[in-house]
């Protein structure tokens, strides 16, 4: 028997703030998920995380818990406190009023309404400030917000599960299940964090996925991502499972979709949105821009190969999540995750950076960011 090693480094207040932030990911959008810890004389006197939009920011929750003990204390917060009047009043004023002596923020807020103003407002009022402790981790937690708030384009995750020989299904289209249970649980956790999931019409026809976020026991989660089908002609069957069920569904079509098809989808409960076309297909960049304007900050694209190819070709993918399972499927007709035409030379291939791997049972999850 092996004993668990004693943790030689107990969690720092900033690590706790990051943990609190992670805990509310998926409940704060389009706001970032922020964690805050207030320490006085070496003891934690208040903690908090961002509440849903329109409710308190992390700092306000922590200040409420600390009460009078916030006076002369140090605040650790995973994002620069806001200095603007948004849906809620500025956190900086609450911090100054509470008499906090020092604010240590992991990173500045890229929101143009804040972007350094929070820090200078605090410093101007005599509060000691510091920026940069665990900055990379803090930015990664809110990677979608960091892109969306400055570009108004959603952060796009390309997710797929492949066999060890690079197939996403057999030649007959069977794909249940290539990846193992632990991998599928990670996918459900991701679906509960992102604002939208997206698939192509062929994937709906072939797999009839539900695309809901479900717990390990199969129960649908309280919050569901918007389900988006890219379907130029609007030929998705009204009986497709993703059109009903908890959460909203949107079908993106082009002018080529017949009124009957649109009506049947609307009756089935979906919102039908006509987008510009590009080569006879839905212009995916325009679709993403449309979603971003509706405050969709992140989209996880779950296939198929043609949709992923147009997104990669349009340089619209930010991060890849590839689940690799130790099975061999074979077959030259068996589909692969990215179809389209592909590049001619390996030197033109899309490269990932900051690549990391994680074991999930016998599967390996490989993630990385598309080089910009």
Instruction: Give the residue numbers marked as catalytic.
Output: 59
The whole-angstrom separation of Cα 32 and Cα 24 is: 9
- Contacts of residue 183, defined as CB under 8 A and 6 or more positions apart, other chains included, come to 161, 323, 325, 360, 361, 363, 365
| Helix count and strand count (H, E) for the chain | 11, 16
Q: What are the residues binding Zn ion (CB under 5 A)?
A: 57, 82, 91
List beta partners, residue 35: 49
Q: CB nearer to ligand AOF: give 76 or 312.
A: 76
Least gap, CB of 95 to ligand AOF (angstroms): 9
Q: CB nearer to Zn ion: give 91 or 144.
A: 91
91 touches ligand AOF (CB under 6 A): yes
Q: CB nearer to ligand AOF: give 114 or 249.
A: 114
321 touches ligand AOF (CB under 6 A): no
86 touches ligand AOF (CB under 6 A): yes
Is 351 strand, coil or helix?
coil
Specify the pairing of strand 277-278 against strand 74-77: unpaired
46 touches ligand AOF (CB under 6 A): no
96 touches ligand AOF (CB under 6 A): no
144 touches ligand AOF (CB under 6 A): no
Q: List the one residue from 82, 103, 240, 270 that touches ligand AOF (CB under 6 A).
A: 82
The residue whose Cβ lies closest to ligand AOF is 86
Closest by CA position to 361, among listed 161, 221, 67: 161
The whole-angstrom separation of Cα 338 and Cα 306 is: 7
Least gap, CB of 136 to ligand AOF (angstroms): 19
| Site map 146..185 versus ligand AOF, x via CB under 6 A | ---x------------------------------------
Contacted by 31, from ligand AOF, Zn ion, none: CB < 5 to 8 Å by type: ligand AOF
50 touches ligand AOF (CB under 6 A): yes
Cα dihedral 217→218→222→225 (10° resolution): 140
Strand order in the sheet with 128-131: 43-49, 35-40, 74-77, 102-105, 128-131
Q: CB nearer to ligand AOF: give 88 or 266.
A: 88
Q: List the one residue from 100, 114, 329, 360 that touches ligand AOF (CB under 6 A).
A: 114
Tokens of 277: 């076309």
Closest by CA position to 110, among listed 145, 85, 158: 145
Least gap, CB of 85 to Zn ion (angstroms): 10
Torsion 188-364-10-40 (CA) sign: negative
The whole-angstrom separation of Cα 319 and Cα 369 is: 4
108 touches ligand AOF (CB under 6 A): no
Q: Is 103 exposed, middle or buried (0-12, 13-18, 19+ CB in 10 A)?
A: buried
Least gap, CB of 111 to Zn ion (angstroms): 10
Contacted by 86, from ligand AOF, Zn ion, none: CB < 5 to 8 Å by type: ligand AOF
297 touches ligand AOF (CB under 6 A): no
Least gap, CB of 58 to Zn ion (angstroms): 8
CA 66 to chain centroid, in Å, comes to 31
104 touches ligand AOF (CB under 6 A): no
Q: CB nearer to ligand AOF: give 77 or 201.
A: 77
Q: CB nearer to ligand AOF: give 128 or 343.
A: 128
Q: CB nearer to ligand AOF: give 153 or 307.
A: 153
Q: Is 27 exposed, middle or buried (0-12, 13-18, 19+ CB in 10 A)?
A: middle
Q: Which residues bind ligand AOF (CB under 6 A)?
A: 31-32, 34, 50, 53, 57-59, 79, 81-82, 86-88, 91, 109, 111, 114, 149
């Amino acid at each position: 028997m092996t004993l668990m090693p004693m943790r030689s480094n107990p969690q720092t207040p900033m690590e706790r703030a990051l943990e609190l932030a992670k805990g509310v990911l998926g409940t704060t959008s389009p706001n970032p998920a922020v964690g805050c810890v207030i320490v006085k004389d070496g003891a934690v006197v208040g903690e908090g995380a961002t509440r849903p939009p329109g409710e308190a920011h992390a700092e306000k929750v922590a200040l409420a818990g600390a009460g009078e003990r916030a006076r002369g204390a140090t605040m650790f917060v995973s994002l620069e406190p806001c200095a603007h009047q948004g849906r809620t009043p500025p956190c900086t004023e609450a911090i100054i009023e509470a008499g906090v002596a020092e604010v240590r923020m992991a990173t500045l807020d890229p929101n143009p309404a804040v972007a350094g103003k929070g820090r200078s407002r605090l410093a101007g009022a005599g509060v000691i400030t510091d920026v940069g402790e665990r900055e990379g981790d803090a930015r990664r937690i809110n990677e979608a917000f960091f892109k969306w708030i400055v570009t108004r384009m959603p952060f796009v995750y390309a997710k797929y599960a492949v066999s060890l020989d690079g197939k996403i299904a057999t030649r007959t289209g069977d794909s249940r299940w290539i990846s193992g249970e632990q991998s599928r649980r990670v996918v459900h956790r991701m679906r509960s964090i992102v604002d939208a999931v997206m698939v192509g019409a062929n994937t709906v026809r072939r797999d009839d996925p539900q695309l809901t976020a479900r717990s390990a026991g199969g129960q649908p989660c309280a919050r569901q991502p918007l389900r988006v089908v890219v379907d130029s002609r609007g030929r998705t069957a009204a009986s497709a499972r993703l059109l009903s069920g908890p959460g909203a569904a949107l079908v993106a079509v082009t002018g080529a979709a017949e009124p009957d098809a649109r009506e049947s989808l609307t009756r089935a409960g979906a919102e039908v949105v006509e987008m510009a076309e590009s080569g006879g297909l839905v212009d995916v960049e325009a679709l993403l821009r449309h979603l971003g304007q509706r405050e969709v900050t992140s989209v996880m694209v779950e296939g198929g190969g043609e949709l992923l190819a147009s997104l990669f070709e349009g340089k619209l993918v930010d991060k890849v999540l590839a689940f690799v399972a130790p099975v061999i499927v074979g077959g030259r007709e068996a589909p692969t995750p990215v179809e389209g035409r592909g590049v001619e030379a390996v030197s033109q291939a899309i490269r990932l950076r900051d690549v990391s791997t994680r074991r999930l049972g016998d599967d390996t999850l490989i993630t990385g960011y598309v080089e910009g």
